[in-house]
Structure 1
Amino acid sequence: MNLNASVFISILVAIFVVRTLRQFLDLPGRIPRLNQVLGYIWVPGVALYGFSQLIGWKTDQLDELYMLFLLAVVALVLVRVQTYRPARTLLLAIAPYLLYSLIELISTLISNRLLEQYDNVFGNSQGFAIIWLVTFGFIARNQKKHLEKERLEREAEEEAKRKIEVQNAALELMVAERTASLTQQTEELREALKELKVTQDQLIQAEKMASLGELTAGIAHEIQNPLNFVTNFSDVSTELLTELEEEQQRPDRDLALEAELLHDLRQNLTKITHHGQRAASIVRGMLEHSRASTGERQPTNLNQLADEYLRLAYHGLRARDKSFNATLLTDFAPDLPLLEAVSQDLGRVLLNLLTNAFYAVQKRREAQPDGYVPTVSVRTRPLPGGGVEVRVRDNGTGIPEAVRQKIFQPFFTTKPTGEGTGLGLSLSYDIITKGHNGTLNVETEEGRGTEFIMELPG
């Protein structure tokens, strides 16, 4: 290879090495001024070649001299950025090769025979220096990757930290605003709670009044029957008295007829007394239901109570719908023990369950007018532990599964607006479970009917 080509290749190698060094060590950011000077690394090579041509120095060591200069420049750069760990590794990598190149150049200038005499030593040294350079070059490369990874992780952490600080500042602002808002809302909720308690009391009272309205309508129709009997028997008794007076005024009195008339009068008066007492018991039941519960427990005949409210609830619905008719079934246990209970409260529960039952069969009759017989039944039986079970069953519309879990919740109702407050079953549940330590469950099948099961301890 001629001198011109050798020097040209050395200059290209120098430019490549400087470019690689810039990228590897990030010289524009670390030493910007020296980085600019490195851009002229080719100038010494061209100057050295021109100087040699000027003085007539025709030697093959010109490119080696330039490469030694390049290694010295690289070493200088590495020393300048030795705080960077890969730079220190690269400095360690080129040190043997730089030392070898310097010794070889000096030996060549002193005597070519010396270089030829120790050719194997120089060859082995050069191989070792190259292997050392390549090995530590890879080590520096791995160090750079590791440091780059750490840098990226650190930047990510700093970015995350910065975002967290921004978010914390935003959250603190939001917390301050939210605290002020919550303080205001707390005051508003406090006022709303007061209004809600008042409204709740009003709704409970409205439910009681609605229950009283159902009871009153039933009583008005139920009491009509004994009053009609009293009126009829009074009219018949008046006629019998007239016949008795006429018979007593005859000269030939028929004592047997007078005795028969007196017997009929006595029977009529007995029936009048019976139906009068029946009307009085109905009125008394109405008064007990409308009176606020004192919580006083008294021996209560659930058979009588259930039968009473079954008919009252039925007539209450018929008061609103004259065309409505239903089959009433009762299965009262004759040996049912008296139960210590608050009869007014149990009456409210029975009235609510029975009113709901009649409402359900009425709605099914409206949807299925042909071939359907509305039926409501009440069954009582004693429990083995001494308590009493009451079952109220209807063959009405049933309760959907999605609704069944909510029926005992306050204010929940499936009735249209204006037909229910949603408190009837809730109050009934509280009366049975909390007031009497019993249970109130429901079994239902949509489209087939519903059965409420009330168990009260003895």
Structure 2
Amino acid sequence: MKVDYSDMVEKGLFTFFVIRFLRLYFDTPTRFPEQDKILKRAWLAVIPLFLLASLPGLKFINEWYYEVFVLVGAYFIYKARYNRNTRTLFTAVLPVVIMIFINTFFEYVFPSFYKDYDEIFGTAYGFSFFWMIGFGFYANKQNKVEQQQRQKAEEERIRNEAKKQELEYQVAERTAELTRQKNELEETIAELKATQNQLVQAEKMASLGELTAGIAHEIQNPLNFVNNFSELSVELAKELQEELDREAQDKDLIVDLVSDLVQNQEKINHHGKRAASIVKGMLQHSRTSTGQKEETDMNDLADEYLRLSYHGLRAKDKTFNADFKTHLDPKVPKVRIIPQDFGRVLLNLFNNGFYAVQQKARMGIDGYKPLVEVRTELVEKDKEIVIKVTDNGTGIPESVRNKIFQPFFTTKPTGQGTGLGLSLAFDIITKGHGGTLEVNSKEGEGTEFVITIPVG
């Protein structure tokens, strides 16, 4: 058995470089790692093939090696022709495949013709190989460009994926931060609401404290009347009893005594009801508002709270003295309001008015007479009730006039005001009763608060 080693080396190198070319061309190490392991060692199959070709009857293996190798390669390239680069490579191999079939056909079917034109067939065969090599280089170059593009696209995809992950991380981190801030904000709002409720209650209790002295003064008057008329009624009853015990009764005297007793009882009843209404008003003021509107006489409410405010300040400061006046329109009808809330509004405005005139009185201005007035008016055309609370006190500086309805804003010294009175008053009038609360003031001359509420 004689082996042509030079031919074996030649075909082995040919096989090695072709397989290497295909591995690089199709990037099998990356795209098809399992198949690449087989391709990497496929060229070693040349050795057993050449050993077989030395055996009798198997020499065709050696003679047809290139043709068979090309045909097998062309078949696999054809199977993968749907890829653009593979189609280009198939175009490079196709002429060689055609020439193999032509040469084989003429060599075995028309041998004499094949021998006569052997040189032409050889030239065409060689040209097809050069075509394959040239087109193969072109296809390889094209493939490298596309591989670079794919690599760039993959790098871009990786960068985008990294950016996406980073953005997702940042979004998740930011979402967690926003959730934390939201929870903290909700807790803060809840605390603020609780604090606000406490401050509102404190403001109510403070105004109730200011009312106490005024209520004590106001309730004392009807109680004095009740006591006086009760004592007088006792004396009249005794006198009536004595007259009834006599045998000679004076009927005219008895009638007069009974008439006086009835009048006294009516007066006792009237002043008792007056005292009861004052106590009821105090209880309503201290009680948490139910939000239920009731038919209320606005003139009575304004008059009552003006007097309570004045006497409350007089009880706190014996040196304080001011005049107050009411101008109550008798045409003002009863209106549906929340009396506890509306009373707090009026009390706050009256207290502020008396405070302002008190501060101005302390300036020692000659001829100054402190005055707080309340005026009610029915504006039939607009179907509105207008309540004006006016004082001739210090007035409100223009620089702070726009802030007086803001929560916690006060012009009073620390400890003398919560800054919630006017803020609550504004909300009660505008939100609770669908009205308006406005202020007109001139620094050094006085202030006027105007409440407007709809009738009906």
Question: Percent of aligned pairs with the same residue?
Answer: 62
- Residues of 2 paired with 1:447 and 1:302: CA distance? 30
Aligned to 1:247: 243
**Residue type matched to 2:232 in 1?**
V
Structure 1 residues 271 and 189: alpha-carbon distance in aligned structure 2, compared to 1, 3 A threshold = same
- Matched residue SS, 1:405: helix
Q: Deviations over 1:216-273 (max 9, x none)?
A: 3321111111001001111111111222222333344333222222221111111000
**Who is 2:64 aligned against?**
none
Residue aligning to 1:394: 391
Which of residues 377, 399, 402 is equivalent to 1:405? Answer: 402
Structure 2 equivalent of residue 199 of structure 1 = 195
1:233 aligns with 2:225: no
How far did residue 287 of structure 1 move?
1.6
1:292 corresponds to which residue?
288
Structure 2 residue 452 is the aligned partner of structure 1 residue 455: yes
Query: How many Å separate the matches in 1 of 2:181 and 2:295?
Result: 50
Residues 22-75 of structure 1, C-alpha deviation per residue, up to 9 Å, x if partnerless? xxxxxxxxxxxxxxxxxxxxxxxxxxxxxxxxxxxxxxxxxxxxxxxxxxxxxx
Cα gap change, 1:323 to 1:263, in 2 (>3 Å): farther
**Tell me, which stretches of 5 or more residues in structure 1 are unaligned?**
1-174
Question: Aligned letter for 1:443?
Answer: N
Q: How does 1:146-157 map to 2 (within 5 A)?
A: none
Map of 2:309 onto structure 1: 313
Alpha-carbon offset, residue 370 of structure 1: 4.4
Give the aligned partner of residue 39 of structure 1.
none
**More displaced, 360-369 or 395-404?**
360-369
Residue 377 of structure 2 corresponds to residue 381 of structure 1: yes
In structure 2, give the amino acid aligned to 1:325: N
Q: For residues 326-365 of structure 1, what are the structure 2 equivalents within 5 Å?
A: 326-365=322-361
Residues 182 and 366 of structure 1, relative CA distance in 2, 3 Å threshold: farther
Work out which of the residue numbers 433, 436, 444 in structure 2 matches 1:436. Answer: 433
> Aligned letter for 2:298?
L
Shift of 1:349: 0.7
- Choose which of 400, 424, 430 in structure 1 pairs with 2:421: 424
Paired amino acid for 1:413 = T
- Is the aligned partner of 1:259 residue 2:262? no
CA shift, 1:181, in A, is 10
In structure 2, do the counterparts of structure 1 residues 190 and 437 end up closer, same or farther at CA, with 3 Å as the change threshold? closer
Question: Residue 115 of structure 2 corresponds to which residue in structure 1?
Answer: none
Instruction: Describe the shift of the 1:294–1:449 C-alpha distance in structure 2 as closer, same or farther (beyond 3 A).
Output: same
- The whole-number CA distance in structure 2 between the counterparts of 1:444 and 1:397 is 9
Cα distance in 1 for residues equivalent to 2:290 and 2:309 = 24
1:411-440 per-position Cα deviation (integer Å, ceiling 9, x unaligned): 001111211100000000001111111110
Give the aligned CA root-mean-square deviation in angstroms.
Answer: 2.5
Q: Residue 206 of structure 2 aligns with which residue? A: 210
TM-score, with normalisation over the residues of structure 1? 0.58
Equivalent position amino acid for 1:279 in 2: A
* C-alpha displacement of 1:193: 4.2
Provide the TM-score with structure 2 as the length reference: 0.58
Shift of the 186–366 alpha-carbon distance from structure 1 to 2, 3 Å rule, reads: same
SS in 1 for 2:447: strand
2 CA distance for matches of 1:226 and 1:369?
A: 37
Counterpart position of 2:79: none
Q: CA deviation at 1:188?
A: 6.4
Given candidates 245, 264, 267, the residue that maps to 1:268 is: 264
**One-letter amino acid matched to 1:404:** R
Mapped to 2, the partners of 1:199 and 1:335 lie a distance apart of 42
1:282 Cα deviation (Å)?
0.9
Residue 301 (structure 1) aligned with residue 301 (structure 2) = no
**Secondary structure at the residue paired with 2:403?**
coil
Q: Distance in 2 between matches of 1:399 and 1:247?
A: 68
Query: Distance between the aligned counterparts of 1:244 and 1:396, measured in 2?
Result: 57
The structural deviation recorded for 1:376 is 0.8
Aligned residue pair count: 283
Change (3 A) 1:183 1:336: closer
Q: CA deviation at 1:298?
A: 2.1
C-alpha distance in structure 2 between counterparts of 1:272 and 1:453, whole Å:
38
Show the 5 A alignment for 1:57-136. Answer: none
- Check 1:347–1:232 CA distance in 2 against 1; reply closer, same or farther (3 A cut): same
CA distance in 1, matches of 2:249, 2:365: 62
For residues 345 and 402 of structure 2, what CA distance do their matches in structure 1 show?
Answer: 19
Structure 2: state its 5+ residue gaps: 1-169
The AA in structure 1 aligned to 2:281 is G
